[in-house]
């Protein structure tokens, strides 16, 4: 059995959401970080070019508005995630994680949760954290590595690889 204590900072939460979206099975979640804003930039460049070639027209403003919306998607996502973290009181303060052959037990100041291994679909990790995907695509669990020892990280990774399965997130 492995017992860990950690805290999830806003930075950890934001990084975990980025990692989860980057490896999400949903194309929209993956594309919202890069493809959609690039499309918006291309669309905006097209409208500027058309305005220079044909002269300004008020009819082009709705298209330019859509382009600006697409460009702003990552900023809107970031703002929404910051608000979600601020409102998620269960992520604030000291959290504990107990890991054994049956599953994971998460505890915090306002909750306690036992989750069996079969409830997890996969996990990803980077240098700063582990992200565990539950079978529901929208539910993830975050375990930051900053307060863990090298041995705890190795042991935790061993449990995750043996019980859940990995999708590499190493860049």
DSSP 139-167: -EEEEESTTS-HHHHHHHHHHHHHHT-B-
Q: What's the pTM value of the predicted model, to 2 decimals?
A: 0.75
Q: What is the pLDDT of residues 61-117, one digit of tens each?
A: 888 888 999 888 888 888 988 998 888 888 888 999 999 999 999 999 888 999 999
Whether residue 169 is predicted with pLDDT greater than 50 in this model: the reply is no
Determine whether 104 is exposed, middle or buried from the number of CB atoms within 10 Å of its CB (0-12, 13-18, 19+). Answer: buried
Determine whether 12 is exposed, middle or buried from the number of CB atoms within 10 Å of its CB (0-12, 13-18, 19+). Answer: buried
Cα–Cα distance measured from residue 25 to residue 63, given in angstroms and rounded to the nearest whole number: 30
Q: What is the pLDDT of residues 1-18, one digit of tens each?
A: 899 999 999 999 999 988
Q: What is the pLDDT of residues 119-149, one digit of tens each?
A: 998 899 999 999 998 887 678 899 999 989 9
Select from 135, 21, 120 the least CA-distant residue to 78.
21
């Amino acid at each position: 059995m492995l017992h860990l204590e950690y805290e999830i900072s806003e930075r950890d939460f934001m990084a975990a959401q980025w990692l989860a979206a980057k490896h999400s099975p949903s194309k929209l979640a993956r594309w919202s970080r890069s493809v959609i804003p690039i499309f918006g930039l291309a669309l905006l460049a097209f409208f500027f070019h058309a305005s220079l070639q044909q002269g300004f027209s008020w009819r082009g403003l709705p298209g330019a508005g859509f382009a600006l919306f697409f460009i702003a998607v990552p900023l809107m996502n970031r703002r929404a995630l910051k608000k979600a973290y601020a409102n998620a009181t269960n992520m604030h303060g000291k959290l504990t994680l107990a890991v054994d052959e049956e599953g994971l037990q998460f505890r915090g100041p306002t909750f306690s949760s036992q989750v069996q291994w079969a409830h997890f679909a996969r996990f990803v990790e980077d240098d700063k954290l582990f992200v565990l995907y539950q079978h529901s695509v929208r539910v993830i669990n975050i375990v930051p590595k900053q307060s863990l020892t090298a041995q705890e990280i190795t042991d935790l990774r061993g449990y995750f690889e043996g019980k859940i399965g990995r999708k590499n997130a190493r860049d």
